[in-house]
Structure 1
Amino acid sequence: MIRIHDAAIPNSEFEDVNLAGSRFIDVNLEGATFHDINFTGLKISAARAPDARFEHISMDRASFASMDMKAVRFSNVDFSGAEISDCNVEGMRINGHLVTDLLALAEKA
């Protein structure tokens, strides 16, 4: 095990590296890029990710809880089998339609 503490190694590159079981605590990854990464079992907590971009990612069985997703955009996403519960959907739109309006129509049916 290598323990790195209070270090500055900006613009570093890691290629073909096994970091399984590693922990990153109080780390600045601003502007970092991850490509072809196995994040199976990944846990991210107490993080800030404004302007983050997630592209070409499989998130089968992933879960999201206690998150601020204001003004987040999803496009070309496969939500089949996805579930949303106990969430504030005020102002949320799906294909231009307010979710609250869609839910109200579903309740009437």
Structure 2
Amino acid sequence: MAKRGQRADAVRPRPTIIATTTAAAGQGDEQEMMAAMERMNRDMTAPQAMTGDPDRDLVAMIIPHHQDAIDIARTYLRRGRDPQIRRMAQKIVADQEREIREMRAWQAKHPAPSR
């Protein structure tokens, strides 16, 4: 775990996302999906100042990760045809939007202490 003021990338591995697309995706959708995956990878590996509070740090890192997953799922839903994958993508959107709302509500109730 990073210490207060330590960059997150100093202590956590830098994941690499291997992006694949479905045959159902169109050329524009494929490019958009790839861009969303690249954003997710960039968000996950970007240096972030850690507060030292694991609760705040987790929420601050997970919100953009969830938003990127929502963007990827929505891109898939525009052209994806497989019923099972469509249900999964719809569930990703619904679940992660709800979780983002919950995390933002938690942040509002637990503001960072003043320095």
Where relative contact order (Cα < 8 A, 6+ residues apart) is larger, the structure is 2
TM-score normalised to structure 1 length:
0.21
Larger Rg: 1
